[in-house]
Amino acid sequence: MSRPVALLVLALTAGLVLLGMPSFSGATYVSTTRNTLSTVTAASDWTPPTVSVRNPGSSVKDTATITADATDGETGIAQVVVQYLPENGTWTTICTTTAAPYSCSWNTTTLADGPYELRAVATDGAGYTTTSASVTTTVANKLVATLASPGDVVKGSVALNAAVFGAGTLTYKVDVEYALADTTKWTPISNCTQLVSPYTCAWNTTGFANVGYDLRAVATSGASKATSALVSDVLVDNVAPSVTMTDPGSPLRGTVTFGATATDAESGVASVVLQYAATGTSTWKELCTVTTAPYSCRFDTVGIADGSYAVRAVVTDVAGNPTTSAVVANRVVDNTVSSVSLNDPGTYLSGTVNLTAVANSTAGVTSVRIERAAAGSSTWTEICTDTTAPYSCSWSTTTVADGGYQLRAVLVDGSSRTTTSSVVSGLVVDNSPLRGADVQTVNGGAISGRLDSGDVIRLTYSDQANLSTLSAGWNGSALGVVVRVRDGNPLGLGNKGDTLDVLRTAGGAVVPLGSVRLNEDYVKSNRTAQLNATMTATSVTVNGVPVTQVTLTLGSLAGNTVTKWLRTVTLTSAMQWTPSATATDLSGRPASVAPATETGALDREF
């Protein structure tokens, strides 16, 4: 290869590599190699800086010096911003410094006494930024008592830790007290009275009702007294959850669905571990761990030896209480002849659906036949037969009536023996023209990740809806409603099954928009939050088709809802909207109840 051609290949390769990498703003290109055919350029800084903030101590007062450490091996540090965060507040800048040592003088005398977080944000010469981990200190310009939170949910014996700042020469004793959540009748906790430094004790919760409590610390020295901020709504949960292992049947071949039902009325289910053990042994091995309902998983039994097994489920609630189910015994795994399983195509089916089966046989697979039957029927009708892997076919659901169906696959091996898969049941063919197409949220409030005034929810149908079936006489103009968000645990959906729907008034009739499963934990256990909202509807064009889009704009809290019931979520999720069949299209045909999953990349809601 000639030198010019080789350099051209090198340049094109480098260009493709750069195009395939994530884009970065502010990178300065300084190193260059040239000839008459190509230019290869390298960036001087691809990496962000490192930064940390030093902890000034457990407490500060008057004017405190806050110092950050920041480095960048390529383009150097351009600036460091040092910030503080009060409890239930927002980050506020103390200072911006451009030269080491990166220190600020923090005048705490203008601030309320109490706990604060500190952090630093460093920017390098290429424009990359890094935010440090936060450290915690307490501003104590006057006498301050504090009580550390033991957590949202507690059980058994719980360590409580109080502190006293600004005591001067006086010696203080501390009582830790409790009251039912949102009440003011305070009672000292046994074994947590007259505490001396370091003000720690153990709270035995086993004698307490399994409800929410507020906690506080009271420091006293003679006539001098200080009361800490409340640690609110701490849920005591000493009740074990319940769990039942579902019988997977026998014999078991190929990929099998294992599942359990689990409930916990207090703190909610944290996880369910499905296990198996060979008959006659006590060595349990994990099939899977599931953290959200339904508590089930698919497991390939080909990976374990043929024989007799027992299965069970172990549930743990958020408080850490475990329960083990009764054992389902003598389930036989037999993969020595043939195995066939039909992959679940999903609950709601419409249009043309791809059906796939997995089949294996020591005698070879001659064919796999996929069959359908109406729900509850034993009359099976062939959909297709495939003789080569992967075993699949397309099923036009428009050729059958809407309704419930079940599917199965039948394997014929090289010896003409047949093996029938487990039935995939609970399927619904629904070719209704009006369907849920998308659900999206927009953060318009003060706090990202939390339900707040100004936040927006948009529900988009696949066609134009008859708005009067959503609210009598409604034409899409602004209509006052109430958005309700219920904790997923009482609904049997687990901690991340919080569900949103719409009411005409607080506690009133439901607007037949259906419900949205948020798939994250936005309200505290066993709470229902309500927010005033404005509902509008417009016709928008999607892929050239006019469709109805309903917009809900959140306002103030409604009913008895208080801010502390709401959680701030930091994780991404994909919401699911299940429309109501009460809504119809312009021809009076009911909407499909097939869930619509939020489109686009996973993001943080609200």
Report DSSP letters for 479-512, one per residue.
EEEEEEEE-TTTTTS-TT--EEEEESSTT-PBPT
What pLDDT is stored for residue 21 in this prediction? 38
Class of residue 337 by CB neighbours under 10 A (exposed 0-12, middle 13-18, buried 19+)? middle
Contact 179, 186 (CB under 8 A): yes
* Averaged pLDDT, 184-210: 95
**What are the tens digits of pLDDT across the range 249-267?**
998 989 999 999 999 999 9
Residue 264 CA to residue 319 CA, distance in Å, equals 10
What integer pLDDT is reported at residue 470 of this predicted model?
A: 97
* pLDDT tens by residue, 147-182: 999 999 999 999 999 999 988 778 899 999 999 999
pLDDT at 87: 84
Indicate the pLDDT class of residue 42, thresholds 50, 70 and 90.
low
Q: How far apart are CA 393 and CA 383, in angstroms?
A: 8
CB atoms within 10 A of CB 539: 11
- The pLDDT of residue 373 is 97
DSSP assignment of 54-75: ----SEE-SEEEEEEEEE-SSS
* pLDDT of res. 25: 38
Q: In a 10 Å sphere around its CB, with 0-12 CB exposed, 13-18 middle and 19+ buried, how is residue 479 labelled?
A: middle
CB 30 within 8 A of CB 61: no
- Beta strand 212-221 pairing with 173-180: antiparallel
Residue 275: helix, strand or coil by DSSP?
strand
Q: Show the 3-state SS of 336-355.
A: CCEEEEECCCCCEECCEEEE
* Mean pLDDT of the 218-234 span: 91
Given 2.60.40.1840, 3.30.70.1400, 3.90.870.10, 2.60.40.10, which CATH number is that of 50-139? Answer: 2.60.40.10
CATH superfamily for domain 144-236: Immunoglobulins (2.60.40.10)
Decide: pTM greater than 0.75: no
Q: How far apart are CA 438 and CA 435, in angstroms?
A: 9
pLDDT score of 34: 47
The whole-chain average pLDDT of the chain stands at 90
CATH T-level topology, domain 338-429: Immunoglobulin-like (2.60.40)
Q: Which amino acid is at 521?
A: D
Quick one: DSSP state of residue 517? E
The mean per-residue pLDDT over the stretch 496-501 comes to 97
Q: Where in the chain is the domain with CATH 2.60.40.10?
A: 50-139, 144-236, 338-429
Q: Could you give the C-alpha distances from 313 to 4, 286, 548, in angstroms and in order?
A: 67, 10, 45
Average pLDDT over residues 117-135: 95
Q: What percentage of the chain exceeds 90 in pLDDT? A: 79
Amino acid at 202: A
For 242-317, CATH gives 2.60.40
Q: What is the mean pLDDT of residues 523-549?
A: 95
> Two tokens at 183?
């009440």
Q: Rg of the chain's alpha carbons, rounded to an integer?
A: 31
